[in-house]
Amino acid sequence: MSSERMEANGIHKKNSGMEGDPDLKFLLQGGELLKVRSTSWKKPRYLRLLEDCKTMWRESQKTFKTNETFSLEDIAEVRRGRQSEGLKKYTEEQAEGCCFSIMFKGRRKNLDFIANSEEEAKQWVNSLEKLISNINNLNSQQKTEHWIFTCLMKADKNKDDKLTQSEVKDFFRLINIDIDDNYAEMLFKECDKSKSGYLDGKEIEHFYELLTHREEINVIYGTYAKTAGFMSPENLVEFLMTEQRELATLADAHRIIDKYEPDENVKEKKLLSKDGFVMYLHQPEALVLNPEHKDVYQDMSQPLSHYFISSSHNTYLMEDQLKGPSSTEAYVRALMKGCRCVELDCWDGSDDEPVIYHGYTLTSKILFKDVIRAIKEYAFKTSDYPVILSLENHCSVAQQEVMAQHMSSILGSALITSPLGDSMPTNLPSPEELKGKILIKGKRLNKLEASFASEPAAADDADVTEEEESNGENEQEEEKRKKKNKLKLAKALSDMVVYCKSVHFRSFEDAKNNQSFYEISSFKEGDAIKLAEESANAYIRYNVDKLSRIYPAGSRTDSSNYNPVPLWNTGCQIVALNFQTACTDMDVNQGRFLVNGKSGYVLKPAYMRDSATEFDPITLTRGDWLKHKLLHVMVISAQQLPKVNQKKSSIVDPLVKVQVFGVPADAAEKETHPIENNGFNPGWNENFQFDVYVPDLALVRFVVEDYDFMSENEFIGQYTLPFNSLKMGYRHVPLLSRNGDLLPSAGLFLHIMVLDAE
């Protein structure tokens, strides 16, 4: 291997943060594993890490199939043991120690392997986890270098560590920039100092420097670098206070220089170079999301009804609700995304084991107990705050008793089976009091008060099923089916329902007189939207001390979603969406719950927690909620946008949309013009202004699309966050994929200003 290639590999190892590491050595060497697809399909596959230190290669036995690769950045987690559905089903218990699975982000199928020994399985899992964690912790500068070197290596077709002019053209396509021939030639000539007709070594480095040059940052840096061409601590404080609107001290400036200045000589002089400045601007503390809002920063000691709660519908589905697969993996994904209310559609199964699937459809079935096991394991990995299991119960009494037994034995002390405290509560407990606990939402035979009474109370005659999803039936048919299927409720299951007893909603008046704080109603999307439009203030008051769950209409057989914003605007807490469906509504949901430690709980504004509130999101009369702000956004540039289409010749024509979601008066959208053929470093410098009247409820979404003159634009990436979590000044914005995962190197660069309207 030539010195340049070794140098490039050295950079990769250095950039993976694992130079000389035995785990890295193990992965680069690789080894043979048994890949498992079914009881009879278990085949040997050679797996190893490529020199770029971020791509795994596996040998395929198929004659016409090219050997497959996948990026470490696409891995969601590595699981040791028989933890996937496939391994549980297709391997024997004694193989436990030798098994491991690679779980991917998005819709990609996981890989199940059996190693030759327990030791080897452990080595694979530990090495992969270590490398993934190191890659995730790279700073943006390192990620850019890593990405560009990977593309340079791919472009070097004959692997001679030199780039010819045509290889340089290929390289530009790989980094998603369609460069004018004259410009490419000019760049090439400028770097080809030796006039050899190719670039190598130092020339490639110079080429890289020209590529990563960011004029917009040079201008900002130049304005404040007033100390012999560098930024002194005083200059940096001036930048932070004037541009970034931050209360900064000299101590803050010294800390930034100390932490981010890469040149030791410059650091010694207590100065910040342009490289250090770029490095700082890419740090989490300098991004568009207020770093103080990343952790739990809200009061978590109020009743559950005072919070918006991240909630999922048909949680068991991986795809649509007519024929898609049901999977415990879908629960894992939702819980890992911070979801705190999951749905279990329970039906009688064979061998007295209840199953979960979408009734009257072709979706596959999974065992109830397997779902409860998955919930037990993953409930509190992302958030410590309570999880609500919304039971859609279609089971016979006998199998309901089995359900109760499974929940009791698997969930153990995490399951809430009686009210907290020694006396009858008067309102819902708080997320803080319920940390690490699991609540059951479902029908109950009697009132909660009965658990404190000496005499057993008479049971309500309750129909067990709750969601009245019509599945396209007419109402008479549905009534007939409901009568026929009127099921009785098992006492063991009924007793597990404490704070979320499902009841039918009749009217706000009726609820005021008859509904207890622990009784929760579910609303079909259409009914809820009607109430939100016609009786918004009454709905807000109702939601002060009672929980509401909203679910998508049964007609959404493709598992599409509805806009959750109007329902949050009326204080509904459990606005359930199809987490398995990537769409704008899910982006907005992810943006709403991005803050407060991704805990899945966000405190409602004070005027939505007051039962005498006058707030109405539609009429917007005067009140505490009216805080008219002007939002100024300058869309400056984007970096390293991924291709939408993997065809070699395809290059994106990006445009940026800035959208505001909130009360009707605040909803708005503006977009830039498209930039032709440049996904690498497009620049817009376009200014937009928005009026925001109720900032507490507003969310801002930045979305990048590939402009198409003939058809609909294609989605490239987006980022959504609450308006009140925006930081001002020059900010980088990370971009997320359709599935809500971070796009490794892509981003937007903006200038943001929020002012009080006169």
Give catalytic residues, as residue numbers: 313, 358
Tokens of 386: 């309570």
Give the length of the chain.
758
Determine whether the annotation assigns residue 343 to a binding site: yes
Determine whether the annotation assigns residue 756 to a binding site: no
Unique residue bearing structure tokens 């490095």: 279
Is the separation of the CB atoms in 8 and 153 below 8 Å?
A: yes
Phi-psi region at 309: left, alpha or beta (left = phi > 0; alpha = psi -120 to 50): beta
Unique residue bearing structure tokens 């009881």: 39
Where would I find the H helices in 261-323? 264-268, 274-281
Determine whether the annotation assigns residue 626 to a binding site: no
Determine whether the annotation assigns residue 409 to a binding site: no
Determine whether the annotation assigns residue 267 to a binding site: no
Determine whether the annotation assigns residue 1 to a binding site: no
| Parallel/antiparallel/unpaired status of strands 699-706 and 111-114 | unpaired
Alpha-carbon span 333 to 339, nearest angstrom: 9
Is the separation of the CB atoms in 239 and 217 below 8 Å?
A: no
Determine whether the annotation assigns residue 55 to a binding site: yes
Q: Which long-range contacts (CB under 8 A, 24 or more apart) does 18-22 make?
A: 18/53, 18/130, 18/131, 18/134, 21/130
In three-state form (DSSP H/G/I as H, E/B as E, the rest C), the secondary structure along 453-490 is CCCCCCCCCCCCCCCCCCCCCCHHHHHHHHHHCCCCCC
In 3D space, the residue among 628, 665, 670 whose CA is nearest the CA of residue 754 turns out to be 628
Determine whether the annotation assigns residue 743 to a binding site: no
Tokens of 13: 């190892």
Determine whether the annotation assigns residue 651 to a binding site: yes
Alpha-carbon span 574 to 554, nearest angstrom: 17
Where would I find the H helices in 212-273? 215-224, 233-242, 250-260, 264-268
Determine whether the annotation assigns residue 44 to a binding site: yes
Which residues make beta-bridge pairs with 100? 80, 113
Tokens of 704: 């990048």
Determine whether the annotation assigns residue 49 to a binding site: yes
Phi, psi of 514 (to 5 degrees): -120, -15
Determine whether the annotation assigns residue 653 to a binding site: yes
Determine whether the annotation assigns residue 42 to a binding site: yes
Determine whether the annotation assigns residue 51 to a binding site: yes
Which residues make beta-bridge pairs with 686? 635
Determine whether the annotation assigns residue 52 to a binding site: yes
Determine whether the annotation assigns residue 187 to a binding site: no
Unique residue bearing structure tokens 């970034």: 244
Determine whether the annotation assigns residue 395 to a binding site: no
Determine whether the annotation assigns residue 255 to a binding site: no
Start-to-end CA span in the chain (Å): 67
Determine whether the annotation assigns residue 62 to a binding site: yes
Where would I find the H helices in 20-139? 22-29, 85-90, 118-136
Determine whether the annotation assigns residue 499 to a binding site: no
Determine whether the annotation assigns residue 40 to a binding site: yes
Nearest-5° angle of CA 559, CA 565, CA 567? 85
Determine whether the annotation assigns residue 346 to a binding site: no
Determine whether the annotation assigns residue 57 to a binding site: yes
Binding-site annotation, residues for Ca(2+): 314, 343, 345, 392, 651, 653, 677, 706-708
Residue positions forming the annotated binding site for substrate: 35-62, 441, 443, 522, 549
Binding residues: 35-62, 314, 343, 345, 392, 441, 443, 522, 549, 651, 653, 677, 706-708
